[in-house]
Amino acid sequence: MPGKVVLCTGANQGLGFAILQVAGLRHPTNTYILCSRDLNAGQQAVQKLKDLSVIAQIDLVQLDVTNDQQISAAVEHVTETYGKLDVLIKNAGIIRLPSNDDISAARAAYNELFNVNITSVALLTTAFTPLLYKSPDPKVINISSGLGSIQNAPTKKKVRVPPYSTSKTAVNGLTVHMQVAENDRVDG
């Protein structure tokens, strides 16, 4: 029985890389699509996974989650190569600390942060939904952060990064609303 097709954004380093490493070791019959903005960094990550004894098939796709043409190309690649997508892991994210001294620079930092951390999460889901519906058991995973918790924000002493934290709060809200919409679709 062939394995699942799993796509992870921002997978050339950090949490995305670790997700593919652990999943690839535990479920070597799956195919993992490692998405990276930078092809060289992605190629190095694929080689590092092989060096770490990951024997699962790793497919590299260049994907800047803010680039609509690259999103379309990634969807086309998955469609032509696999015909379905079983698991979509949206891990790509950034953190920016905008200057309080320059309003224009702060606006640009907030816009970039929200474009990567929330808008792209929504658009990737929309773009890959037809392929997910071709899977018998599709999964969508949005990577958030404890810093996005509204409940913990006023009570826990931790690093305060309001721009990043609010983008992750938005991811949490988007995740809930997308799940409710999917439940409504399935339940008719």
Domain ranges of the chain: 5-187
Q: Using the 8-state DSSP alphabet, how is residue 66 labeled?
A: T
Give the residue-averaged pLDDT of 97-107: 82
Say yes or no to pLDDT of 145 above 80: no
Give the residue-averaged pLDDT of 18-36: 98
Given the candidates 3.40.50.720, 3.50.50.60, 3.30.70.20, 3.30.540.10, the CATH classification of the domain at 5-187 is 3.40.50.720
Contacting residues for 30 by C-beta, under 8 A, at least 6 apart: 3, 4, 5, 6, 23, 24, 56, 57
What residues act catalytically? 164, 168
Say yes or no to pLDDT of 15 above 80: yes
pLDDT at residue 153, as a whole number: 60
CA count, 13 A, side-chain hemisphere, 166: 9
Give the residue-averaged pLDDT of 50-59: 97
